[in-house]
Amino acid sequence: MAEEFKRLKRELVYKGAIVNFYKDTIQVANGNVVEWDFIGHQGAAAVVPVRADGRILMVRQYRNALDRYTLEIPAGGLNGPDEPTKDAAARELEEETGYAAGKMEWLITVRTTVAFCNEKIDIYLATDLTRGCQHLDEDEFIHVEAYTVQELCDKILSGEIEDSKTIAAVMSYKAKFGQP
Question: Which residues are designated catalytic?
Answer: 138
Beta strand 19-27 with 33-41 is antiparallel
Beta strand 44-49 with 120-131 is parallel
Q: Which of left, alpha, beta for 54 (phi over 0: left; psi -120 to 50: alpha)?
A: left
Residue pair 111/79 in contact (Cβ under 8 Å)? The answer is: no
Nearest to 76 by CA among 44, 49, 107, 99: 44
Pairwise CA distance, residues 161 & 72, whole Å = 8
b/e map of 136-172 (b: 16 or more CB within 10 Å)?
A: eeeeeebeeeebebeebbebbeeeebebebbbbbbeb
State which H helix or E strand residue 99 sits in: strand 99-111
